[in-house]
């Protein structure tokens, strides 16, 4: 996996003792929304929302962004920002720990730079373990992916693309998309997008 990051630590939850799924369920009930309403607005299935709330499945950050949007809040309400996330013009290699949004994950996020208040771009390295297959997702903005290492299968708007190290993918992220690590080793993606994951 390389030595540019520490072994993953879980993204910290806001300090109220609740897990990710419990916080999502509490927010949904506070708004008087059904799981079906949240699923429809987030572009996910009701079964997946149920699994998230019960702690059986962990959403990607993209899907968590959509769930937060459906619940009229930001991702920050469900997971605390990674520690030390302050803007710096330069971020040194080895200074970016990996984070997972929940336990038992098969993907880990290495945030490259937290951005600033007017920033339009977000970037991270995603470490995708062999066999990982994401949920189908869509969200605001556009995505650019450079595959640093590994062998991945991407599906975008019904078309499949196999990528190897050095290949790129650029698409309107409103279109349904998902990814699968079809290789035998951990794949590493450089993702750059316009989706605002955290409040600056």
Residue 7's pLDDT band, with cuts at 50, 70 and 90, is very low
| 90 vs 174, residue with greater confidence | 174
The candidate with the shortest Cα–Cα distance to 179, out of 112, 53, 167, 102, is 167
Is the predicted pLDDT of residue 5 greater than 50, yes or no? no
Residue 92 lies inside a defined structural domain of this protein: no
Among 22, 43, 77, the domain-final residue is 77
Average pLDDT, the chain: 82
Residue 132 lies inside a defined structural domain of this protein: yes
- Among 13-17, 88-92, 133-137, whose mean pLDDT is lowest? 13-17
Residue 3's pLDDT band, with cuts at 50, 70 and 90, is very low
> What is the value of pTM for the model shown?
0.72
In the prediction, which pLDDT does 30 show? 94
Q: Own/partner pairs for 17-24, CB < 8 Å, 24+ apart?
A: 19/55, 20/52, 20/55, 20/58, 20/78, 20/79, 20/101, 20/102, 21/52, 21/53, 21/54, 21/55, 22/53, 22/55, 23/77, 23/78, 24/52, 24/53, 24/67, 24/71, 24/78
Q: At what angle do helices 35-42 and 61-70 cross, to 10 degrees?
A: 120
Residues 56 and 132 in one domain: no
User: How many domains are there within the chain?
Assistant: 2
Residue 109 lies inside a defined structural domain of this protein: yes
Residues 176 and 105 in one domain: yes
Interval 47-52 mean pLDDT: 93
What CATH code is carried by the domain that includes residue 53?
A: 1.10.260.40
Residue 86 lies inside a defined structural domain of this protein: no
Residues 172 and 116 in one domain: yes
Residue 129 lies inside a defined structural domain of this protein: yes
Residue 8's pLDDT band, with cuts at 50, 70 and 90, is very low
Residues 110 and 70 in one domain: no
Residues 69 and 108 in one domain: no
Residues 103 and 160 in one domain: yes
Residues in the chain: 200
Residues 104 and 29 in one domain: no
Domain housing 54? 10-77
Coil/strand/helix, residue 41: helix
Q: Tell me: the pLDDT tens digits for 81-117?
A: 555 556 677 878 877 766 765 555 677 888 787 667 7
Is the predicted pLDDT of residue 31 greater than 90, yes or no? yes
Residues 31 and 68 in one domain: yes
Residues 104 and 152 in one domain: yes
Is the predicted pLDDT of residue 12 greater than 60, yes or no? no
Instruction: Calculate the alpha carbon distances from 11 to 24, 32, 110, 155, 188 in Å.
Output: 15, 27, 11, 27, 19
Interval 21-27 mean pLDDT: 91
Interval 50-59 mean pLDDT: 88
Residue 199 lies inside a defined structural domain of this protein: no
Whose tokens are 């698409």? That residue is 171
Residue 23 lies inside a defined structural domain of this protein: yes
Is the predicted pLDDT of residue 124 greater than 60, yes or no? yes
Is the predicted pLDDT of residue 142 greater than 50, yes or no? yes
């Amino acid at each position: 996996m390389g030595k540019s990051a520490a072994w993953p630590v879980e993204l910290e939850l806001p300090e109220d003792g609740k897990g990710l799924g419990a916080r999502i369920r509490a927010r949904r009930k506070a708004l008087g929304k059904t799981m079906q309403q949240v699923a429809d607005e987030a572009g996910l299935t009701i079964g997946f929302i149920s699994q998230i709330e019960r702690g059986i499945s962990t959403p990607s950050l993209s899907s968590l962004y959509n769930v937060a949007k459906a619940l009229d809040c930001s991702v920050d309400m469900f997971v605390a920002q990674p520690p030390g996330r302050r803007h710096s013009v330069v971020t040194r290699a080895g200074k970016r720990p990996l984070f997972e949004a929940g336990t038992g994950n098969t993907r880990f996020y290495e945030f490259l730079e937290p951005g600033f208040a007017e920033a339009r771009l977000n970037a991270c390295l995603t470490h995708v373990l062999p066999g990982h297959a994401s949920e189908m997702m869509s969200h605001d903005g556009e995505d650019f992916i450079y595959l640093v290492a590994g062998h991945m299968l991407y599906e975008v708007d019904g078309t499949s693309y196999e990528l190897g190290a050095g290949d790129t993918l650029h698409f309107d992220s409103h279109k349904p998309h998902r990814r699968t690590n079809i290789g035998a080793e951990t794949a590493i993606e450089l993702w750059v997008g316009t989706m605002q994951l955290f409040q600056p």
